[in-house]
Amino acid sequence: MTKAKQLESSTDKIIIQITDTHLLQDPKEEFVQVNPEHGFHAVMDDIRKNFPHIDAIIHTGDLAQNAKTETYQRYLDYMQQFAVPFFQVPGNHDDIEKLPFATALPEPTVVDLGAWQIILLNSAVTGKIDGWFDHEHLERLNTLLENNQDRHVILACHHHPFSMHSKWIDQHILKNTTDLKQLLSKYNHVKLVVFGHVHQESINAWHNTEFLSTPSTFVQFKPRSDDFAFDDIAPGYRCLHLKSDGQYSTKVYRLKDYNPKINKEISGY
């Protein structure tokens, strides 16, 4: 058995973000000529190889392409083998009735990491592609932030709060980013907001907070494209290295030698 790699300090934490697995009901099935199960497993194998010690894995939504109980059960069974705490927030493709997601509205779930906290938020609205934070959910978030100002905080949700400069993707943005900004402007301890949905890496900064999106484990979307378009770049995941003094570093890793041949005839997603 591999000996777990010693962290620089026992209080440092390594968090992995995966997102947009879009798993299908049949694990052998393909969508746009790509099998989402293959990308997901290849990403998890890469994570296991690169990071022998992980403190938590956060999935930022769209676990399933079509929300089915058996798909979610297969995901849960697969994730158990890593013996690492794992959490997920719902995406627009998910159904919170079929998977007991960590975040039961209106209370956000807090992943306690000592000096750091990850707060899981639900930005998904049943029947909609775009996102929205429920008023009561934001009020509870406000209380959490107010009561934990001695912690460094990461917020995790599915939808992108800021424009990706891509018309078709921006139609499906978090629609009440103004409410989130109003809340964040009151505090200085929210270091990061991590999300998925846009199937590409991005970084934005606002106030004292960095906003990061992460590649899908499935197919990628072409950055800054006004019309729907796939990108040929490989699937990936994000690693966050958190230090107890509030400093952090983060990097996106992509699979090598994994280039699925996407059927690009599809005009929407």
Calpha distance 126→87 (Å, rounded): 20
Candidate ranges 30-38, 60-68, 137-145, 240-248; the one touching Fe ion (CB under 5 A): 60-68
Output the smallest distance, CB 50 to Fe ion, in A. 26
Distance CA 44, CA 50 (A): 10
Residue 61 beta carbon to Fe ion: minimum distance, rounded to whole angstroms: 6
Cβ neighbors of 37 (< 8 A, separation 6 or more) are 23, 24, 27, 28
Asked whether position 215 contacts Fe ion by CB under 5 A, the answer is no
Give how far Cα 98 sits from Cα of 80, 95, 163, Å: 18, 6, 30
Q: Name the residue whose CB lies closest to Fe ion.
A: 197
Q: Does 39 bind Fe ion (CB under 5 A)?
A: no
Stretch of 96-104, 107-115, 193-201, 208-216 contacting Fe ion, by CB under 5 A: 193-201
Helix (H, G, I), strand (E, B) or coil at 252: strand
Of 92 and 220, the one with the shorter C-beta distance to Fe ion is 92
Closer of 191 and 197 to Fe ion (Cβ): 197
Structure tokens at 201: 């890496």
ω into residue 106 within 30 of 0, thus cis? yes
| Binding residue for Fe ion, selected from 197, 202, 212, 213, defined by CB under 5 A | 197
> Which one of 12, 37, 62, 94 is in contact with Fe ion (CB under 5 A)?
62
Interaction of residue 92 with Fe ion, rule CB under 5 A: yes
Span near Fe ion by CB under 5 A; candidates 71-79, 190-198, 213-221, 240-248 = 190-198
Size of the site for Fe ion (CB under 5 A): 4
Rounded to a whole number of angstroms, the minimum distance from the CB of residue 60 to Fe ion is 9
Q: Are 137 and 80 in contact (CB under 8 A)?
A: no
What are the start-end ranges of the E strands in 93-246? 109-113, 116-120, 152-156, 190-195, 202-206, 209-213, 220-221, 230-231, 236-242
Min dist. Cβ of residue 153 to Fe ion (A): 23
Judged by CB under 5 A, does residue 160 bind Fe ion?
no
131 binds Fe ion (CB under 5 A): no
- Phi and psi at residue 196, in whole multiples of 5°? -120, -125
Is 91 one of the binding residues for Fe ion (CB under 5 A)? Answer: yes
Count H helices, E strands: the chain? 5, 13
Select from 245, 167, 173 the least CA-distant residue to 211.
Answer: 173
> C-beta of 92: minimal distance to Fe ion in Å?
5
Binding residues (CB under 5 A) for Fe ion: these are: 62, 91-92, 197
